[in-house]
Chain A
Amino acid sequence: GAVVSQHPSRVICKSGTSVKIECRSLDFQATTMFWYRQFPKQSLMLMATSNEGSKATYEQGVEKDKFLINHASLTLSTLTVTSAHPEDSSFYICSARTPLAGMGEQYFGPGTRLTVT
């Protein structure tokens, strides 16, 4: 149980275009989803927190107009990188939690590798 999927696993896009990444909780309802960014050989940095049906809360320094997050249902959150630039190339990881889980516990997706050319 507690499986989180991400699609696509890899995506290459041209500079200036937008790309959407999906995060789905497959066997549970996720009241809260989180989006992280991981640079090569580095740690995961929290980008934003989204609760179903409400606006996402972005961490300081994360451009909300560039990284659009939508959590339209209890099983799906999307991250859209708008007007992508090469510096947006990174590994994006989502996680999800349910009130039924242990306190603070999150279930992570396998990540999406974004390359902007």
Chain B
Amino acid sequence: AQSVTQPDIHITVSEGASLELRCNYSYGATPYLFWYVQSPGQGLQLLLKYFSGDTLVQGIKGFEAEFKRSQSSFNLRKPSVHWSDAAEYFCAVGGRGGGADGLTFGKGTHLIIQP
């Protein structure tokens, strides 16, 4: 069975500082990997995704993530955070069942931005 681990429940970062959110997955093959952001009252917004090819993927809002097969990781990074980045971040994995699979989510990381 596939699973996703986000080891950090909360992370506090100063505005302007760099950010890395960790994500490890368990899956029998190369999965589809996603990072979503959830703000209060908002639906989940896709930040970026990895399907194949270049292991460093660029997303919206200045985020990027790197797929490392050897470490089963897909960490999310941003070089300089803004106060508006405060939100809940979810890493998710999807199977390759023709896109008909639901996603398996990690427990989420709550990002707090300090002024």
**A interface residues, Cβ below 8 angstroms from B:** 4, 32, 34, 36, 41-46, 49, 51, 59, 93, 95, 97, 99, 101-106, 108-111
Contacts and interface: CB of A to CB of B under 8 A. Distances in A.
Query: Chain B CB within 10 Å — which of A41, A93, A104 has the most?
Result: A104
Closest CB pairs A-B (n = 4):
A104-B32, A46-B102, A108-B44, A110-B43
B43 A109 contact: yes
Interface of B: 32, 34, 36, 41-46, 49, 51, 90, 94-96, 99-108
B100 A49 contact: yes
Contacts of A32: 99-100
A110 B38 CA distance: 9
Contacts of A99: 99
B17 to A, nearest CB: 25
A36 B90 CA distance: 14
Given A93-B44, A103-B96, 12 more contacts: A34-B103, A42-B107, A42-B108, A43-B105, A49-B100, A49-B102, A95-B44, A97-B99, A103-B99, A104-B32, A105-B46, A109-B43
Contacts of A105: 34, 46, 49, 99
Contact of A36 (B42, B94, B102): B102
Contact of A110 (B34, B41, B102, B108): B41
Interface residue SS majority, chain B? loop
B105 A110 contact: no
Contact of B49 (A36, A45, A51, A104): A104
A104 B94 contact: yes
A4 B103 CA distance: 17
A61 to B, nearest CB: 13
A40 to B, nearest CB: 11
B103 A111 contact: no
Contact of A44 (B41, B45, B46, B90): B90
